[in-house]
């Protein structure tokens, strides 16, 4: 009926419109019930998929992730902000998963804008396991880099190549054989005096890359007390006594293989150098 037509005579029955009105409400309630049922099924799916729920929890609970993204967005732009946060989060999730795989409690990753990120967990009793937990971050970064390099070369897409390049580059830097880098924790399971050479390499690479002096000093000071204490014998890791020669060889082999893999992946996507 057109809105400009006069209403029907009063003598006509009004029952059909009422039935139609009731039917409309019933259909609405039925649709609402179906939506509620689907939502319930969705919640049950989340409960039975711990990995999915854990991922949502990480994204929702990590205030440091949001803060870091906002600051990187303001300084570098949205594309590089996404790349940087993605690389850092996946690297730290590698540590987190490694802690949990050894049955050790661990907290969600924390991002520190312009300094990196870290994951706190209970140290294992075995120093070799501690080295593998430290290695899990760079290994995750290596897998991310290789995967994105493959996609980027297949699609000729510089965005994927940028992810691959940044992941490889940052994880190579993180393999520096000195504390507080992951490489320093790995070297602690092999032979701590190698930290001296690692410090020299770190300073040389940082100067070559024109890294600000303040950043060099902050990173150096974070690991310096522990390194000095262990080299002097005042800070002794009791777990080192249980490390066999074969265990040290295994850790060293994983360290060199991961470093070589990151170097190879960087060669596949040399976006950083362009």
Question: What integer is the mean pLDDT of 82-101?
Answer: 94
Q: Are 98 and 145 in contact (CB under 8 A)?
A: no
Q: Is the pLDDT of residue 254 over 90?
A: yes
Percent of the chain at pLDDT exceeding 70: 75
DSSP three-state, residue 126: coil
C-alpha to C-alpha distance for 186 and 142, rounded to whole angstroms: 16
In this predicted model, what pLDDT tens digit does every residue of 99-121 receive, in sequence order?
999 999 999 888 888 878 889 99
Decide: residue 88, CB within 10 A, 0-12 exposed, 13-18 middle, 19+ buried: buried
In this predicted model, what pLDDT tens digit does every residue of 131-142 receive, in sequence order?
999 999 999 999
Question: What integer is the mean pLDDT of 251-262?
Answer: 96
Question: What integer is the mean pLDDT of 77-82?
Answer: 88
CA dihedral sign, ordered 62, 65, 71, 77: negative
Instruction: Return the structure tokens found at 186.
Output: 């790995």
- Which stretch of DSSP H or E encloses residue 118? strand 116-118
Q: What angle do CA 263, 266, 269 make, to 5 degrees?
A: 160
pLDDT for the residue 62: 63
251 versus 271: which is more confidently predicted? 251
Percent of the chain at pLDDT exceeding 90: 40
CA torsion, points 208, 211, 216, 218, in degrees to nearest 10? -170
Q: How many CB atoms sit inside 10 A of residue 12's CB? A: 9
pLDDT for the residue 122: 93
pLDDT for the residue 149: 94
pLDDT band, very low/low/confident/very high, at 26 (cuts 50, 70, 90): very low
DSSP for 223-252, please give it.
HHHHHHHHHHTSS--GGGGG--HHHHHHHH
Q: Is the pLDDT of residue 34 over 70?
A: no
The overall average pLDDT reported for the chain is 78
pLDDT for the residue 128: 95
Across 183-187, 211-215, 217-221, 228-232, the highest mean pLDDT is recorded for 183-187
pLDDT band, very low/low/confident/very high, at 13 (cuts 50, 70, 90): very low
- As a residue count, the chain comes to 274
Q: Are 187 and 194 in contact (CB under 8 A)?
A: yes
In this predicted model, what pLDDT tens digit does every residue of 162-183 receive, in sequence order?
999 999 999 999 999 988 899 9
pLDDT for the residue 195: 86
């Amino acid at each position: 009926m057109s809105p400009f037509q006069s209403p029907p005579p009063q003598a006509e029955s009004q029952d059909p419109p009422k039935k139609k009105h009731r039917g409309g409400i019933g259909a609405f309630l039925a649709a609402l019930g179906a939506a509620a049922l689907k939502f319930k099924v969705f919640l049950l799916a989340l409960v039975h998929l711990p990995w999915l729920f854990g991922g949502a929890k990480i994204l929702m609970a990590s205030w440091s992730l949001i803060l870091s993204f906002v600051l990187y967005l303001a300084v570098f732009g949205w594309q590089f902000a996404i790349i940087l946060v993605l690389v850092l989060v996946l690297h730290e999730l590698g540590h987190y998963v490694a802690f949990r795989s050894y049955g050790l409690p661990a907290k969600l990753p924390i991002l520190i804008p312009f300094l990196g990120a870290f994951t706190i967990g209970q140290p294992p009793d075995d120093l070799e396991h501690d080295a593998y937990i430290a290695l899990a971050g760079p290994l995750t970064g290596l897998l991310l880099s290789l995967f994105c390099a493959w996609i980027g070369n297949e699609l000729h897409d510089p965005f994927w190549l940028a992810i691959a390049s940044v992941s490889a580059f940052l994880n190579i830097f993180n393999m520096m054989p000195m504390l507080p880098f992951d490489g320093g924790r790995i070297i602690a399971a092999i032979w701590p005096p190698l930290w001296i050479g690692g410090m020299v390499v770190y300073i040389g690479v940082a100067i070559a890359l024109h890294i600000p002096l303040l950043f060099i000093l902050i990173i150096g000071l974070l690991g310096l007390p522990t390194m000095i204490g262990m080299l002097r014998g005042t800070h002794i890791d009791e777990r080192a006594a249980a490390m066999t020669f074969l265990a040290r060889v295994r850790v060293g082999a994983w360290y060199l293989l991961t470093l070589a893999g990151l170097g190879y992946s960087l060669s596949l996507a040399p976006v950083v150098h362009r």
